Amino acid sequence: MINKILTTPESAFANLKDYPFKANYMDLGGVKMHYLDEGDKNNKTIFLLHGQPTWSYLYRHMIPILVEEGYRVIAPDLIGFGKSDKPVDSEAHTYAAHVKWMSTFVQKLGVKHAAAFMQDWGGMIGLRVLANNPDWLDRLVVANTALAEVKGPQKWIMPRMMKLLKTMSGKPTVEQFAQKINYGNWVAYLSHSPKLEIGKLIQLLTTKNLSKAEMDAYDAPFPSEEYYAGPRKMADIVASDLDAVYSDWQKLKKWDKPVLTLFSDKDPFLADQGYDKLFQTNFSGATGQPHITVTDAAHFLQEDQFTELATRIIHWLDQTNYK
């Protein structure tokens, strides 16, 4: 049972730049998830899943393009982020809990045979949801995300290595993170900084210049430290629930629908690390697909190349006869 839950006041989201969408909420059994649901509900559906520490605002430019093309677009906010409820206790934000919340959302929504674009934790969570709900999707696009496939001694080594990286980084400021962008500084900053400057973080992980209004929109869900449990904990649980993740990977390998990878070239965490190739080789549906590396795009490529992403998704769905 979650002891205390906060909801960011709606006033924090007043007059957001380029975000004219209607709010929808679903009760997931004690916590409410906010989601966007745009376009005709009779049309084919595309899910857009965000990661840490963003929210559905990240997709504000892609949504109108996809809707104009004739798709229904659903973009949820993870619990602890955006307009969704925010459990105050960091222990509520386990990897398993986030997978359960998203699974409940998908099951209650009842949409099957959809398409999805997953990035960052959107993939780490969404892929596990798909593993246990294979009829949810008929098309999958993954970008700048990963899923651990760890067994044997690595299950012991990997979490300890990541904890060591965090410890060695100390308590970096956002300026120090800017000077050396890596996992250790990322998790250490989010864990320890008295004030999280989310807008500045997003700017550091994009190639385009964000306006002050856009950076303010990324700060909006977290008006004070009480609201930080989600972003503080998410970076810290990357290497958790490894047995369940491994099991879900084995299920995913049997899922044979078309898969496209759209990783970016300037992601300081994942570029040139081979994570896109793991998806291309583990999914039979990825064979022969027009995978590309998106150029001039950092970790949050939805900001940097939203037109290219939306256009490539639309063309690929056409090519694979999704409509």
- pLDDT per residue as tens digits for the range 265-316: 999 999 999 999 999 999 999 999 999 999 999 999 999 999 999 999 999 9
Global confidence as pTM: 0.97
pLDDT, position 15: 87
Query: Could you give the CA distance from residue 282 to residue 249 in angstroms, rounded to a whole number?
Result: 9
Q: Considering the domain boundaries, does residue 163 fall inside one? A: no
Q: Considering the domain boundaries, does residue 103 fall inside one? A: yes
Q: Is 138 designated active site? A: no
Q: Considering the domain boundaries, does residue 87 fall inside one? A: yes
Alpha helices in the chain (DSSP H): 62-68, 95-109, 121-132, 154-169, 174-179, 183-192, 198-204, 212-219, 229-234, 242-252, 275-282, 301-304, 306-319
- pLDDT per residue as tens digits for the range 284-297: 999 999 999 999 99
- pLDDT per residue as tens digits for the range 224-248: 999 999 999 998 898 889 999 999 9
- pLDDT per residue as tens digits for the range 133-170: 999 999 999 999 999 888 877 877 887 888 888 889 89
pLDDT of 1 over the 80 cut: no
Q: Considering the domain boundaries, does residue 220 fall inside one? A: no
Q: Is 120 designated active site? A: yes
Q: Considering the domain boundaries, does residue 230 fall inside one? A: no
**Do residues 179 and 171 lie in contact, with contact meaning Cβ atoms separated by under 8 Å?**
no
Q: Considering the domain boundaries, does residue 177 fall inside one? A: no
> Which residue is catalytic, options 77, 120, 138, 276?
120
> Which residue is catalytic, options 219, 276, 299, 304?
299
33 forms beta bridges with 26
For residue 117, give both structure tokens: 């674009």
Mean pLDDT along residues 9-29: 95
- pLDDT per residue as tens digits for the range 36-93: 999 999 999 999 999 999 999 999 999 999 999 999 999 999 999 999 999 999 999 9
For residue 128, give both structure tokens: 């596990």
Q: What is the count of structural domains for the chain?
A: 1
CATH number at residue 118: 3.40.50.1820
Q: Considering the domain boundaries, does residue 246 fall inside one? A: yes
Structural domain including 131 reads: 5-149+242-319
> Which residue is catalytic, options 219, 241, 267, 304?
267
